[in-house]
Amino acid sequence: MNDKWSYIGKRLILAFFTLLMITFVVFFVIQLPPGDFVDNIVNNMVAQGETVTQTDIANLRAMYHVDQPFLVQYWDWLKGIATGDWGVSFYYNQSVLVKIGETLGATLMISLITLVVTYAISIPIAIHAAKHQYQISDYIYTFVGFIGMAVPHFLLAIVLMFLSYKWFGKPLMGLFPEGGIHSWSSFLEFLSKLVIPVIVISMSGTCGLIRSIRAQMLDEQERPYVLCTRAKGVSEKTITYKYEMRAVLNPVVSGLGPMISGVFNGSTITAIVLMLPTQGPILLKALQSQDVYLSGGMLLISAILVVSGTLISDLLLAVLDPRIKYLEESK
């Protein structure tokens, strides 16, 4: 029991310091491009024919707190995050938390549904393909997997939008129906509008996961313990789901962190094409305008998801694979 809590404690401490380093890197990278938000304001004012003096520029820099050294800005931002004050968005002129909250619910909902769909589809298909190697179904899934990984998200989104217009007379995209969800028909309408976003965002992840699980299953099927278990007359279903899947789940669980972050961020271009009210388009606008606090806050949320997903995968791996516990205890 002590070893288990020690393992969890070490992972929590490592996750905290990893997140702290990520905040520094994120804040540093955001400010790498030349200029800042004030420079964008001045350039727009000059383009409109206004006269801007050096005093005006200095006052603007002081107002937006971009006249301070980098470390001072980072420390103030970090203290604000710790106290719940994530700053004010330069571009939108409102609280960062309020702006993020406008699209966070929709983003999390699409991300959760997409994540569930990704695993629900990829695992059964990968098992079937591995158990029917070099058969027609295996070739079909392999071909579809290559196509799904190769086709850009935004192109797939455009094709599906065209088909939805052609077949149904309306685009299957968007989120909540007008008037909200108040009946069974409105709930079905809500689900229908998630079809294209979920398919587009989950496509590459699903195809990649299918190939990864299939390869791992094929390798596991040749293990001596599997051959011995099969020779003893154990059913193929028991071998697959009791023995092989336990080992196959290791790489699936270990990739949970990047998977969560990738699904959460989705594809910015895809979100713009589908006109989705998610975090992607807002993050793009924040980065383009060098809105440090807004872009930093959104990237921080993404980093928290990656670190949290990695922490969860570490703990799950310790449960799934006893060898990890042994290695941890032996150190």
Q: What is the DSSP string of 140-204?
A: HHHHHHHHHHHS-HHHHHHHHHHHHHHHHSS-S--SSPTT-S-SHHHHHHHHHTTHHHHHHHHHH
CATH number at residue 208: 1.10.3720.10
Domain count of the fold of the chain: 1
Q: What is the pTM of this model?
A: 0.73
> What pLDDT was estimated at residue 53?
78
Indicate whether 54 belongs to any domain.
Answer: no
Distance between CA atoms of residues 27 and 32, nearest Å: 9
Distance between CA atoms of residues 159 and 161, nearest Å: 5
> What pLDDT was estimated at residue 130?
87
How buried is 305 (Cβ within 10 angstroms: 0-12 exposed, 13-18 middle, 19+ buried)?
A: buried
Provide the residue count of the chain: 331
Indicate whether 49 belongs to any domain.
Answer: no
Nearest to 279 by CA among 207, 209, 201: 201
Give the DSSP letter of residue 232: T
Domain that holds residue 164: 2-30+86-330
Indicate whether 20 belongs to any domain.
Answer: yes
Indicate whether 78 belongs to any domain.
Answer: no
Indicate whether 253 belongs to any domain.
Answer: yes
Secondary structure tally for the chain: helices H, strands E = 17, 0
Indicate whether 45 belongs to any domain.
Answer: no
> What pLDDT was estimated at residue 325?
54
Indicate whether 250 belongs to any domain.
Answer: yes
SS3 95: strand
> What pLDDT was estimated at residue 136?
92
Please list the pLDDT of the chain residue by residue as tens digits (331 residues): 566 677 778 888 888 888 888 888 888 887 777 777 777 777 777 777 777 777 877 887 777 777 788 888 888 888 888 888 888 888 888 888 888 888 887 777 888 888 888 888 988 898 888 888 888 988 898 888 888 888 887 788 888 878 877 777 665 555 544 444 556 666 666 667 777 888 888 888 888 888 888 888 888 888 888 888 888 888 888 888 877 887 777 777 777 777 776 666 656 677 777 777 778 788 888 888 888 888 888 888 888 888 888 888 777 777 776 656 544 444 4
Distance of CA 179 to the CA centre of its chain: 29
Indicate whether 37 belongs to any domain.
Answer: no
Sequence letter at residue 237: K
